[in-house]
Structure 1
């Protein structure tokens, strides 16, 4: 059976960026696309409708229009769609347990939240509950690019599972950069030795090309300053990967990357696609 990607949409620009990315991936891998919308107050009533029970629903027309628009650019794709009365998180959790679907691709935020991902957002809630991988796309046009992958590493065996899942559903890894941040209580030489050994093991995996590694020491003991997420964010900017891989145990940490920084009162934005491995 052909693998199908679930693409949630609220018809916002951000959701359309994710849908376009999903279609490019589907074309490259011969996957299907399933567009999903959960009714909201703004999407239920058409201009000529006077009550929610009116058979003419704005969302039903919008999702058909979105399908037609995507097929104009990607005529060979198999695209299905549905509108649901369930909450989007509940519906995606339900569908993720169905063997017909292999992955969810969604925007970082939707029409109701024109800002970076924050803890408690729909996107992070879906990533936390989904039984299939979730690929989060930045709130901007993003081309399919798998040439350079970054992995936040803490030297855990599950990181190998995340790499394998990424290669199974998306692509082999031409270039991989391992990113590790450590506290100043650790000796840098010991950390670098461990990181180099971990990189050596990963090089032995089939489908992995060049493996780089980078580590950075955090010099503050005050965790309220969110210094570790800030350092990771800076390293991601420095490495400039095409996509970031996040293992299940790192999801909580990843959420901290997209909270407001207490120390500098800044918000860290998702500028690269992020692949969340299933729980």
Structure 2
């Protein structure tokens, strides 16, 4: 992941302002250009443009190359369109955290994650950037996961993060064990990184297995590749309050798995 351009959509809510604050510090650390975007649903709004300009007056924007962007159209479509226009390498969006309950991500963020061709990093409302020391990389042993992991390692090596590759297995059968061992062996051959570890969590319930993992590690970032049926979608399938609380209060990076096939 070579991050040169970051797109940060905002609707001027506390949630998106927290994501913007996080993005500024992240862009400074990555020496990346920041595009601060607001989408107006139907027509041009001078108020929206002024609000963008007011946000850009924050002294911290002086420390990063930043540019305001105003778009007209449905927010989800406009964000996806603008990400291509500015050649963004990363989208940073806010989520509501555990206080948002079942709808902690919001419909626009969910749409963008589902359709984006580039990585999407969602930031909880109470989160602040202090680096990523411990990262979970969730895998279902999909074909593109190995390439996605290699790209992640190239990125996290910049700040020497520990990356923990995890598979949650609901069935402790021979085939699952072979897949896990094969993926681990291939990953170690594919990537030379001293802070790379592996774990297979076995639990009849995917959700309970996830809770077990989060309680044990409390990571700084959760990462998963997105395919037709993904870790991310599994998180949204059931209203599991405790599980959503853990995930919603941890930054989540979604990678487009199709890119790596």
> Do both share a fold (TM > 0.5)?
yes
**Cα distance in 1 between the residues matched to 2:172 and 2:163:** 27
**Equivalent position of 2:244 in the other structure:** 268
**Cα distance in 2 between the residues matched to 1:228 and 1:258:** 12
Check if 1:79 corresponds to 2:66. Answer: yes
TM-score computed with the length of structure 1 as normaliser: 0.77
Check if 1:199 corresponds to 2:187. Answer: no
Check if 1:232 corresponds to 2:210. Answer: yes
Question: Does structure 1 conserve the Cα–Cα contact (< 8 Å) formed by 2:95 and 2:122?
Answer: yes
**Cα distance in 2 between the residues matched to 1:40 and 1:192:** 50
**Equivalent position of 1:13 in the other structure:** 14
Deviation of the 1:235 alpha carbon: 1.1
Deviations 1:213-243 (A, max 9, x none): 2223233xxxxxxx31342243133222211
**Cα distance in 1 between the residues matched to 2:250 and 2:176:** 27
Larger Rg: 1
Q: How is 1:1-279 mapped onto 2 (pairs within 5 angstroms)?
A: 3-39=4-40, 57-69=46-58, 72-98=59-85, 100-109=87-96, 114-115=100-101, 117=103, 121-167=107-153, 171-172=157-158, 174-184=161-171, 186-187=173-174, 191-192=176-177, 194-206=179-191, 208-219=193-204, 227-249=205-227, 252-261=230-239, 268-269=244-245, 270-278=248-256, 279=258
Any gaps of 5 or more consecutive residues in structure 1?
Answer: 42-51, 220-226
Any gaps of 5 or more consecutive residues in structure 2?
Answer: none
TM-score computed with the length of structure 2 as normaliser: 0.81
How many residue pairs get matched? Answer: 251
RMSD value, Cα: 3.0
